[in-house]
A and B are shown apart, each in its own frame.
Chain A
Amino acid sequence: QVQLVQSGAEMKKPGASVKVSCKASGYTFINHYMHWVRQAPGQGLEWMGIINPNDGSTHYAQKFQGRVTMTRDTSTRTVYMELISLTSEDTAVYYCARDSRDTTMVRGPSWFGPWGQGTLVTVSS
């Protein structure tokens, strides 16, 4: 079955950077885009961006441009999300979520699913 397994919780100081990984299994890795979504404590979901594992191309939400970098390693079927210049407002659970659409198929609706288990990133001095 499709499974996304994320790296463990991180604690960082303000100004530092964090890199979260998401290892995929159970499907053809390069055929599905991957999204990153975060959720601050008690808050809603926030889309951060998307990566095409086939060619590594990315597209970031305007809010995170210049601070986020998404990469992938096809040999290990893993995508990464790095966020720099952390502040307390970056404290959140970070999720990877597979795009439902197989890019080899005819274009159609695409949604987020399945999701990784989430990685809590805490930024505190």
Chain B
Amino acid sequence: GQNIDQPTEMTATEGAIVQINCTYQTSGFNGLFWYQQHAGEAPTFLSYNVLDGLEEKGRFSSFLSRSKGYSYLLLKELQMKDSASYLCAVARLGGGYNKLIFGAGTRLAVHP
């Protein structure tokens, strides 16, 4: 089976830095994704990691440690519009099929 764990809620201040953690247990690991989802809308892609290390993309960075089953999403220079849910998703390859499994998401509230 697979387990993906993220904190349920986080709060942060505008202009600050926040780190959202994700731990997972799965066989056939084939990459980890981070998505942003505003209420009532579809998720939008933020980042993809398949090898260990840090991927940086503007204000957002994502880190992966496959041996620890651990990832984090780092958001810098927080803006009010960053208030959203952040979903960690693991691609799992098994039996010739690739499944994309999501965690429950972390609701981030950014305050002035």
Whether A and B are associated in the same complex: the answer reads: no
Chain B residues with a Cβ under 8 A of chain A: none
